[in-house]
Every structure is written in structure tokens, then in C-alpha cells.
Amino acid sequence: MLKVAFYTLGCKVNQVETEALKEDFLKRGYQVVDFAEEADIYVINTCTVTHISDRKSRAVIRRAGRRNREAVIAVTGCLAQIDAGQLRGIEGVDLIVGNKEKPNLAAIVEEYLHDRQRRIVSPAVKPEDKLKPVIYTYRHERTRAFIKIQDGCQSFCSYCIVPYARGPVRSKLPADVLAEVEQLLKLGYKEIVFTGIHTGMYGADIPGWDLVRLLKFILQETDADYRIRLSSIEPLEVNEELYQLIKEEKRLCRHLHIPLQSGSDKVLKDMNRHYTGQYYYDLIMKIAGEVPGIAFTADVMVGFPTEEEKDFQATYELLESLPLYDLHVFKYSPRPGTRAAGMANVVTAEEKHERSEKLLKLADKKRKNFVSKFMGQEMMLLVERKWGIKSYIGLTDNYIEVQFASEEDYTGQMVKVKLDYMEGEKVYGSLVPDKSQQEQHNYGR
């Protein structure tokens, strides 16, 4: 039995696509092993969102080559789609497979095992390249399952390479999403994350459908005790119907990741993002007032070429004023072929670093402020992993990570915990004895 190992860089979509690849290889009789082990085939699912992603991708490829010089090395993902030529020059690379053909990677590997012909398979992604359902038969390592409901983006933010790597918006058919949900529930998953490259654009290519209608359809057709979490949604795609549904439906997690990128209207315009700082503020405050306990997380970029000190200050002040839970802080990285790469740069590397550090400190303060509001409360927790001896870590529906002690292993299950105290970055809780909690139809909260 041939052994295959996987390494995934980048976003949640890449991660869910790797899980689908594992499923295909397992069905074909391969043994999936850890990337640290010696394998016959190494699959590296790359990212190219920043120059650091490029560098990490190349480093992982070379590491695989050193681990077993006889192994087949197959490189896929966004870097393979954007810059196959760069990858071709790395010693040991046998196959370069872009995003369009990524679902067929196992078959392409088997062709290579038969003829030993190195090849690049990286055609452009087109609107007619529809998403196929992935029906899992194995429960993989994660306690949370992911479904890619959508792929592609056509917003063309001036700094972003993703539309070139992922192609136009394509949505998975609602019936196919339902089939995946039902199968994952049969496998015992208690949380399913709906993800995509531009999740809020779900249904743009399916007449009469949008994200809210999909959620209502899935919730109506399933009556199991589980919860759905949404991945990143752009500010202009979060409407009242969506957050009212989150408020009313206990199986929807009270967590929205809404990218900001900048609080400066000038910089937002230069980024080709079609909202203002005031619009973002009003949106967050409106939802916070409607959905008690909701967690907001946000992406924010520092060092965009036209970001002057006053622009950064506007970003900082906006973020400081908002009831956010956490920030994902990124330093701008020029991507060849994007409009921003040709802009005159007014930001030094030192300024980027200083601004990033300021926002990271603010994020730490935000996390502590948010979590402190829930001390003493009892909440439902999805147990994700064991931590030490008789200790476990899990997630609440509003994304608080809690550690608690238990004699029994509840990994992958929902339990009720009381949030007791914080110590540094960690939140500690205690298991609430409740024999009936597994029968409760209120798993989200």
C-alpha cells in the first residue's frame, strides 16, 4: 500500500480541499500518513496570498524532497495556478496541478505512477467549472467539518491575487450542499463550517438563491442537534435577514468574521473596497444590538502603499470603538499583477511593523474584554482536543476557546461548561453535570 502525505498552506478553503483529496486517495487504496513521516507521495497544497506564503510553500516542497528523494511530489493550490513556472524549477517536483484540476489530483498522480511523465496541469478556471459534491465516508482528524459552498471571487481588490488564482464566483448546488451536510451528520460531526473564497456571494450564479436562502433550506431539511458556523463574509453582504436568522436560529453560531482591512475611506477606495469606515461601524453596532453575545472577528491590513499615519490612526480609532472579539492583522505584501503593486509606496518596513504591533496589542485587549463578559455563564462547548492529562479544550458557538477538566473523553461531542476565570490568554471552565444535555435541542448556545 502506497503512503501519501499532505501539507496545506493558507485558507480554510485550501484545508477543506485537502480533506477532499485525502478522501479520494483513501478510496483508491492509499494510506494517509503524517507529513513528518516518509511517504511515497507528498501533496503540497500551496498559498500565494503574500510573498511569505510563496516562501513557505517553496520551503515545504524542498523539505518533502529531502525526506524521500524517490517520492512523487505533487504541488497544487493557488501558487500552482498563478506561477507554475516558479515551481517547475524546484528540484524533485513531479506534478504541478492548478486549482481547476485539483479535485482530479489523485487520478493525475496515478497517471504519473504509470508513465512517469512530469507535467503541469494548470488551465484557467472558468464560470462553467461547477463545484462537485464531496461525500465523505471517513471521519477525518478535525472535530469540526467544513463544506466549501462556493469558490471564486470577482471583486478584484487592488492588493489581492485571489481572483486570478481562483477564478469567477461558482456556487455549489443547494441539493449538493444538503447531501454533504447529511453525510457529515451521519459521521457524527456536531459543527459544520460553511466556507468559500467569497462566501457572501453564494448563489450569485444560481437564479433565486443566496446565502440566507441556503441556510434556511439546510436548517429546514435537517433536524439533528448540530450547529453551522459561517466563514468570512464581506461587509456589504451582511444584511438584516442574515443577522436576524442568526439571532433566531439556535443552530447558527453567533460569530461573524467581517473583514475591515482599513478604517480610512481614502485607503478603502484605493483598495477598491466599496464601503466606508462609517458604514462598517454602523453595521457592527447594529448587529451587536440585535444579537446578544455575538462575536465579531475582522481582518485588517497595515502598510498598504497609500496608508499614511493619519490613515492608520483612523483604522486604529475605528477598531478601538467597536465591540470586536479578535483581529487578524496582516502586513501588506505586493502581489505581481495586482493594481496595488504598481502604486507608489509611502510606508517603510519599520512603520509596517510598528502598526502591526499596535493592532496586535489592541486585539489582545479586545479578546480579554469580550471574554470577561461571559465569566460565570454556562455555555455549550464543542470539545475539540485533549490537552494534557484529563484536560480538554473546546469552542463555544461565539468562538471562545475554553479549557476544562474531565474524567471522561468528550472529544467531538457537545458538553455544557461554566466559564470560571481567565489566566493570561487562556479561559478555564468547569463541566456542568447534566445527564440530559446530550438530548437538548439547543446545541449552539
Cα–Cα distance measured from residue 280 to residue 295, given in angstroms and rounded to the nearest whole number? 15
Cα–Cα distance measured from residue 53 to residue 363, given in angstroms and rounded to the nearest whole number? 23
Instruction: Specify the pairing of strand 145-151 against strand 170-171.
Output: antiparallel
pLDDT value, residue 442: 52
Q: Closest by alpha carbon to 260, among 296, 305, 228, 291?
A: 296
Report pLDDT digits (tens) over 49-61: 999 999 999 999 9
Q: Given a cut of 90, is residue 243 above it in pLDDT?
A: yes
Q: Given a cut of 50, is residue 438 above it in pLDDT?
A: no
Contacts of 349 (CB under 8 A, 6+ apart): none
pLDDT value, residue 239: 97
How would residue 141 be classed by pLDDT, with cut points 50, 70 and 90? Answer: low
pLDDT value, residue 444: 53
pLDDT value, residue 441: 46
Cell of 144: 469540526
Q: Given a cut of 80, is residue 204 above it in pLDDT?
A: yes
Strand, coil or helix: 47: coil
pLDDT value, residue 90: 94
How would residue 140 be classed by pLDDT, with cut points 50, 70 and 90? Answer: confident
pLDDT value, residue 388: 86
What is the average pLDDT score of the chain? 95
pLDDT value, residue 27: 94
- Return the percentage of the chain with pLDDT > 70, whole number: 97
- Return the percentage of the chain with pLDDT > 90, whole number: 91
pLDDT value, residue 142: 76
pLDDT value, residue 85: 86
pLDDT value, residue 435: 58
Please give the model's pTM, rounded to 2 decimal places.
Answer: 0.93
Q: Which is more confidently placed, 86 or 254?
A: 254
What is the residue-wise DSSP string for 228-293?
EEE----GGG--HHHHHHHHH-TTB-SEEE---B-S-HHHHHHTT----HHHHHHHHHHHHHHSTT
pLDDT value, residue 324: 98
Q: Given a cut of 70, is residue 283 above it in pLDDT?
A: yes
Cα–Cα distance measured from residue 56 to residue 137, given in angstroms and rounded to the nearest whole number? 32
Tell me the residue type at 337.
G
Give the pLDDT mean for 326-351.
96
Q: Is 139 exposed, middle or buried (0-12, 13-18, 19+ CB in 10 A)?
A: middle
Report pLDDT digits (tens) over 344-368: 999 999 999 999 999 999 999 999 9
Domains of the chain: residue spans and CATH:
3-121 (3.40.50.12160), 145-372 (3.80.30.20), 378-439 (2.40.50.140)
pLDDT value, residue 135: 87
Q: Given a cut of 70, is residue 443 above it in pLDDT?
A: no
Tell me the residue type at 386.
K
Give the pLDDT mean for 243-268.
98
Beta bridge partners of 119: 95
